[in-house]
Amino acid sequence: VTPRVEHVAAPGSPGAAATPAPPLRVALLGFGTVGRSVARILSERTDIASRLRLTHVFNRDVARKRASWAADSIVWTERIEEVFASRPDVVVEAIGGLEPAEDWVRRALQQGLSVVTANKQLIAAAGPRLLRLAADEGCELRFEAAVAGGVPVIQAIQQGLAGDVIARVAGILNGTCNYVLSRMGSGSVSMEDAVTDAIRLGYAEADPTSDVDGVDAAAKLAVLAGVAFHRELRTADVATASIRPVDAVDFRYARRLGRTIRQIAAVEALDAATLHARVGPALVPEASRFGRNEGANNIVAITGRYGGTTAYSGAGAGGDATAVAIVSDLLALSASRGPCGPAEWPAAAMDDAHEGRFYIRFVVRDRPGILANITAALARWRINVDAVLQEPGFPKDRLPFVVTVEPCRELDLRNALNEVDSTDFRIEPLVLPILFE
């Protein structure tokens, strides 16, 4: 029998089989809703075990967190020093909040360790500085999970749409508001009851202020603006309106206009350095992507100069969906595709001269001449009325009616409304942009 001779190529020669890289050693900070799901996916997905290995789980008072399904080799610790001393390849930050999360993320990057985070608050507040630090230290900071939970919108912009020039990003980024508004739109549920249900079902925090007042969506929009336009958009520069003044009657009027109401977050580039960004309730066509977006779902529509609009939708929150985004970021790191996008996000210039069509809902003590006063004030600011709508069946001393206007500057509209005799108003007029997407 002639022995078989195997050809063995010298390392580095063209025929050499590539030596598989060792798995990335992952340290997980935070074992709450998201962190637990990350650990579970890494434990269950044996198909990626050769690329990612969870070595440490850090949490305060960690003994109560220990999971029986996790590998015995994982070190559970409540000492952050132990995590850094172990020199992992990647730190996953799933703690939330600004401090101590920012301190630990900064420390990891300073040590040259890449970081994956789900923390929109952190990226909105400190993203540009942390990205610069990562670039200086030759590591990466990834944050797919920070916006729209499980919807891979950041990778879509950074990779799938890298060939386009982004002009506009618009979406429904807050599941709580979408749940509340879609409930109000599909039945005669008050805002208060819809918010209570959202809390009961776990869509909203016990204190839903940052959701309903638009702060949460503004932070996510700031992150998206950085990724899409490579400019720093500060959350405070986003024109933010609460959904609180929206009333059940607004859905009746919106329906007469073929529309419904959603909290829309939108940012557009007026030129390479100037952005216009807003978050708040708006009228959208009932049959549009946004109008049909129900429950706590998120949706993001990205408009490129060349490729037109593409849209991405799915679960905006939830441990598993968010953890998928984190694990995808980890896999991208393990494939060492290199950093995505530029490390610099210089400050954006802001444009607040928003122009568009508007819906204005008044609630007045009825008397002759009110409509004439309103239209006269609008005319003084050269604003044309498009339609006047009045639903029957409301008491005269608390009468809601709606005026829609043709395209105008929002600032002019606000000035015109300031000139209307406010003693007739039972409450401040509600101004909603009318969108076409």
Ligand X SMILES: NC(=O)c1ccc[n+]([C@@H]2O[C@H](COP(=O)([O-])OP(=O)(O)OC[C@H]3O[C@@H](n4cnc5c(N)ncnc54)[C@H](OP(=O)(O)O)[C@@H]3O)[C@@H](O)[C@H]2O)c1
Q: What angle do CA 394, 399, 402 make, to 5 degrees?
A: 110
> Has 220 been annotated as catalytic?
yes
Choose the stretch contacting ligand X; rule: CB under 6 A; options: 218-226, 246-254, 258-266, 315-323.
Answer: 315-323
Choose the stretch contacting ligand X; rule: CB under 6 A; options: 39-47, 92-100, 179-187, 228-236.
Answer: 92-100
Burial of 11 by CB count in 10 Å (0-12 exposed, 13-18 middle, 19+ buried)?
exposed
Q: Kindly tell me which of 127 and 149 has the beta carbon lying closer to ligand X.
A: 149
319's tokens: 């441990």
**From the list 174, 303, 322, 375, which residue makes contact with ligand X (rule: CB under 6 A)?**
322
- Kindly identify the residues of this chain, within the stretch 27-86, that bind ligand X according to CB under 6 A: 30-35, 59-61
Choose the stretch contacting ligand X; rule: CB under 6 A; options: 24-32, 47-55, 299-307, 363-371.
Answer: 24-32
- Kindly identify the residues of this chain, within the stretch 255-274, that bind ligand X according to CB under 6 A: none
- Kindly identify the residues of this chain, within the stretch 98-157, that bind ligand X according to CB under 6 A: 100, 118-120, 145, 149
Distance CA 128, CA 427 (A): 41
Helix (H, G, I), strand (E, B) or coil at 116: strand
Q: Which of 65, 120, 220, 396 is catalytic?
A: 220
Please report how the helices 370-380 and 410-418 are oriented relative to each other, as an axis angle in degrees rounded to 10. Answer: 140
Residue 218 interacting with ligand X (CB under 6 A) = no
Q: Kindly tell me which of 78 and 391 has the beta carbon lying closer to ligand X.
A: 78
Choose the stretch contacting ligand X; rule: CB under 6 A; options: 39-47, 219-227, 260-268, 314-322.
Answer: 314-322
Choose the stretch contacting ligand X; rule: CB under 6 A; options: 88-96, 276-284, 347-355, 418-426.
Answer: 88-96
Q: Provide DSSP, 16-37.
A: PPPPPPPPEEEEEE--SHHHHH
Contact at 8 Å (CB) between 425 and 364?
yes
Contact at 8 Å (CB) between 265 and 379?
no
Residue 318 interacting with ligand X (CB under 6 A) = yes
The residues, ordered by sequence, that sit 6+ positions from 77 with a Cβ below 8 Å of its Cβ are: 56, 57, 58, 62, 83
Distance CA 56, CA 195 (A): 38
Q: Kindly tell me which of 116 and 430 has the beta carbon lying closer to ligand X.
A: 116
- Kindly identify the residues of this chain, within the stretch 327-356, that bind ligand X according to CB under 6 A: none
**From the list 215, 254, 317, 330, which residue makes contact with ligand X (rule: CB under 6 A)?**
317
Q: Kindly tell me which of 104 and 362 has the beta carbon lying closer to ligand X.
A: 104
Q: Kindly tell me which of 94 and 184 has the beta carbon lying closer to ligand X.
A: 94
Residues touching ligand X, count (CB under 6 A): 22
By DSSP bridging, strand 399-409 and strand 355-364 are: antiparallel
Distance CA 39, CA 28 (A): 8
**R_g of the chain, CA atoms, integer Å:** 26
Contact at 8 Å (CB) between 339 and 135?
yes
Q: Kindly tell me which of 126 and 189 has the beta carbon lying closer to ligand X.
A: 126
Contact at 8 Å (CB) between 400 and 341?
no
**Least distance to ligand X from the beta carbon of 31, Å?**
5
Q: Kindly tell me which of 100 and 112 has the beta carbon lying closer to ligand X.
A: 100
**Least distance to ligand X from the beta carbon of 203, Å?**
10
* Residue numbers at the binding site for ligand X (CB under 6 A): 30-35, 59-61, 94-96, 100, 118-120, 145, 149, 317-319, 322
Active site amino acids: 220
